[in-house]
Amino acid sequence: MKHFLVACIFLAALSTANASNAAPLVAAADWAAYKQKFLDPSGRIIDDGNGGISHSEGQGYGLLLAYLAGSRADFDLIWSFTKTELLLRDDHLAVWKWEPAASPHVTDINNATDGDVLIAYSLARAGKDWAVPEFLDTAADIVKAIAATSLTEHEGRVLLLPGASGFAAQDRNDGPVVNMSYWVFEAFPVFAELDPSTDWKKVAKDGLNLLAVAEIGPKRLPPDWLSLQATPKPAEGFPPEFGYNALRVPLYVLRSGIADAGLLYPFAEMNASGGIVITDVATGEVRQILTDPGYRIISALTACALSETPVPAELKSFTPTLYYPSTLHLLGLAYLAEHQGRCL
């Protein structure tokens, strides 16, 4: 039954990913407000909650949101910066960190796999809908590079490593280490079309099954960084918490077309009165409550999927705050726009 469920999930995600973006899923006014605050004229997305740096994750999110808003000009601008300033490695992956005050601006040449996934996925969807072969070719190169450098087999699972170096079993005493929020599930059916030689269906299936393994502590929530060296546990050198990374996992699950209560139920534990909790996974201690609308909409969408609770009206309007929650907010609103009749 589990394998049948995963197959159905993959087919649903494939249908969603292949759907034509005839009507923009991000409202023009919302995208205008977002880009006014976070899109530099050079084409870089500014992470104003992280010292004003830019990174591959932000560029990938920017590309995806520009595509979902139907803004080809902004997509091209963001892609131009990404291509010239971040795609500097010789393996088709992006360097992850770009600092405006540093010289040179690139201060860490390692990749961040979630950024590569988001960039490739955005290029693939835009390339298909806007008939741009260059986007499709580049997306295919990135996807094949992810497969070659950042996929590894461990105890029968195919794992998506957070980077090409530093996280594998041979790199760390507690390796391999993964980050569950790097599985952008909606992207994998698209990757299967670009790179049929890699079993992206298994990548998706093993990621979904790993969510159950990642449930740790009294609240059964995954830590941001998970060691799979032996018994799954929080990785060494990282806070042992369900935090800013893992909180986006249910959003990725929902956006890929999955509404399975068994997968989403543990994430009900992240909800607090007025926000999402940052939690010590071992003790269940709440360390912080995040009340930004961009975080709260994830909690609201999860509640809708589990109990058909309508999304509060105040979360359906967008005013930019900081880069990260504002990005998640627009992705949540795009999900609502694509699934009219649910959560409204």
Q: Catalytic amino acids? A: 57, 114
Question: Would you give the distance in Å from CA 17 to the centre of its chain?
Answer: 15
Cα 1 to Cα 208, 259, 265, 305: the distances in Å are 14, 16, 19, 21
199/90 Cα distance (integer angstroms):
24
Rounded to 5°, angle at Cα 290 from 289 and 295: 140
* CA-wise closest residue to 60 among 227, 248, 234, 338: 248
Are residues 276 and 289 in contact, defined by beta-carbon separation less than 8 angstroms?
Answer: yes
Helices 72-81, 56-68: axis angle to 10 degrees equals 170
74/324 Cα distance (integer angstroms):
19
Per-residue three-class SS string for 208-220: HHHHHHCCECCCC
Helices 28-38, 56-68: axis angle to 10 degrees equals 160
Are residues 152 and 161 in contact, defined by beta-carbon separation less than 8 angstroms?
Answer: yes
